Amino acid sequence: MNGQDRTIAERMFPVVLVVAMLVTTAARAGDVMYRVRDEVLHDIDPRLFGQFMERPSWGEIGPEGALVPGTHELQPKVVELLERMKIPIIRFPGGTDVHVLDWRDMISHVPGRGADRPVSTGHKGDKVTNNFGYDEFLRLCKRLRAEPIIVVGLFQAHQGRKPLAEAALEAAGLVAYCNARQGAKLPEGMPDWPSVRALNGHPEPYGVKYWQIGNETWFYFKKLKKVLPGRAAKHYADCVMAYARAMLAVDPDIVFIVDGHGPTYEATRLVRDQLGDKVRHFVFHDYLPWAIGKDVKKDGKAVAVDELSVTDIWYAWVATPYIDDDGLSYFSEPIMDEARRKGFKIAVTEWNWNGWWTRPRGALNSSLAKGIGAAGFLHALMRSADVIEIGCQSMLVGKSWGISAILADPEATEPPYYMPSGQATMLYSRHHGPKLLALEATGIPTYVQPIRMEGIRPRDKVAYLDSLVTASDETVFFHVISRHFDEAIEINVDVTDVGRFTGKARHYVLTGRLRNRPGPGQPRQVADITHTDMTYDGRVLKVVLPARSVSCIELYRK
């Protein structure tokens, strides 16, 4: 902690600061013990560490702002950063704008239009180009060896703004463009989309398996209930079924991802009753904390934002998404219990630590804190991986939004760089095992988090160290978030229950500067992932975790 921050913290939060220092002093003495158990809790699907390549229009334009100027291609250095991330699955293109955009605007040589692509208007009236479209996205997925998820808009049909049969046929046309072979028999009235795809340089089908019907339809379900009292769920199900039937008529091998959060669950259940396993995943999204303004409370009482210290803000921001009775990150979503009872799977196709100050701004606005908070989301995903198979962090590439994994310069004069939340997901994607193991822990220091700010809730107990273990046949991966603001913590990891080990380990750690603005000679990128090789007795590893960090420690089996 620098002098200014320490002065603020001691003045604004003296009791908690002293308690935290006392607790972690004990922890540094070697009291923190983890014992990895030879018990598999559930599988870890690598698709948990996916990304959402949104193509928005309002204040951010996503990959449109990361292109080589005047072309349809991503800047080479952006692609280099993407390749390092080892992304297993990518969702595209929306998002909110998918409800108002015509997919045909995102390809070239549409019949009757010529070669060029038009400029589109987003849901808030903003203009956005279509230089990065379906062909560019799907070619990128092939290069990255990432599975694509394509989203089709349901809003126009669902709200009666377009005849259902027409809207469903348009969605099926996109399936034909992506998946149908040249010369295939297509539904009556459908253009020869495979020939258009060939004209655009890809004669062979792309073979897109996953299709998401609609995006965040729960937001307009309330209005639908007023218009169609008692019939909203059936109407929604009828719309989804019409889309599904039209799309399956083009490619019977595709599968669907459909909203299942809140009021959409009963309607989606009706669809699954008819389509069975063709509805592969139900969806919920999770963002926290959203806009942080005047409605902030501390110890249950309203408090002005400018009264919060740097450490107040830090310890609130890193306690996400939700904290259980042991002080660890988890998801609080009713559909997960339903999934366990009914045997279906879940895709969280949008998630991230997504928050910003309105006015006045707080004493801290740290991208590193947001990255540590995003790691809490990753732990929540992994703890619920018995039902959650897919996660898509939002968003992958942008020019200005702080939730972007990669920020790029639209003029391509400055190099692109990673943001900490994207680096957290990259760390886990590159270093994890396919099985989640049971973990016993003693001596874990905790703190009280008394602040409510938008979606972030107060908790009597938050663990400074949030840990879990994954494993493969060759390696045990110890994952740990260190939430402590300014104290390193020593831990012991006992692996004697899970086999014989070589006595060699590698410690990968994500850490960086607290302040976003670079100092003299510092890069714009806030954080880095570094590694250190270690040796131990093959039984108990002792390691010191830096403050404000996310770690993965690989322990190698004999």
pLDDT at residue number 223? 81
Determine the Cα–Cα distance for residues 402 and 348; give it in Å rounded to an integer: 20
Determine the Cα–Cα distance for residues 48 and 262; give it in Å rounded to an integer: 22
Determine the Cα–Cα distance for residues 461 and 172; give it in Å rounded to an integer: 50
Determine the Cα–Cα distance for residues 453 and 361; give it in Å rounded to an integer: 13
Rounded mean pLDDT, 374-403: 98
Rounded mean pLDDT, 247-267: 95
pLDDT at residue number 29? 43
pLDDT at 27 over 80: no
pLDDT at 25 over 60: no
Determine the Cα–Cα distance for residues 170 and 518; give it in Å rounded to an integer: 48
pLDDT at 153 over 80: yes
pLDDT at 401 over 50: yes
Q: What is the band of 158 on the pLDDT scale with cuts at 50, 70, 90?
A: confident
Q: Distance between alpha carbon 222 and the CA centroid of its chain, in Å?
A: 26
What residues does 471 pair with on adjacent strands?
435, 476
Q: What is the mean pLDDT of the chain?
A: 93
Q: What is the band of 54 on the pLDDT scale with cuts at 50, 70, 90?
A: very high
Q: Compute CA distances 117 → 282, 419, 543, whole Å.
A: 33, 31, 55
What residues does 313 pair with on adjacent strands?
none
pLDDT at residue number 460? 97
pLDDT at 16 over 60: no
209 dihedral zone (left: phi>0; alpha: psi -120 to 50; beta): alpha
The two beta strands, 50-52 and 388-394, are parallel
Token output for 153: 């808009």
Determine the Cα–Cα distance for residues 199 and 108; give it in Å rounded to an integer: 9
The rounded percent of the chain whose pLDDT value lies above 70 is: 95
Rounded mean pLDDT, 475-479: 98
Rounded mean pLDDT, 206-212: 98
Token output for 192: 């020869």
347 dihedral zone (left: phi>0; alpha: psi -120 to 50; beta): beta
pLDDT at 8 over 80: no
pLDDT at residue number 497? 98
Token output for 21: 């220092």
pLDDT at 24 over 90: no
The C-alpha angle 130, 131, 136, rounded to 5 degrees, equals 110
Determine which helix (DSSP H) or strand (DSSP E) holds 353, and give its type and residue range.
Answer: strand 345-357
The two beta strands, 89-92 and 120-121, are unpaired
Helices (H), 191-323: 193-199, 221-227, 232-250, 264-275, 310-317
pLDDT at residue number 17? 30
C-alpha R_g of the chain = 24
Half-sphere CA count of 410, side-chain side, radius 13 A: 13
3-state secondary structure of 158: helix
Of residues 127 and 27, which shows the higher confidence score?
127
Q: Compute CA distances 502 → 338, 474, 495, 505, 545, whole Å.
A: 43, 11, 11, 8, 22
pLDDT at residue number 30? 58
Instruction: Give pLDDT tens digits for 71-99.
Output: 999 999 999 999 999 999 999 999 999 99
7-16, 61-70, 131-140, 417-426: lowest mean pLDDT where? 7-16
Task: Go through the chain and tell me how many residues it has.
Answer: 558
Token output for 132: 């990065």
pLDDT at 556 over 90: yes
Token output for 158: 């669902």
Answer whether the bond into residue 247 is a cis peptide, omega within 30°. Answer: no
Token output for 490: 């020593």
Rounded mean pLDDT, 260-268: 90
The two beta strands, 435-442 and 32-43, are antiparallel
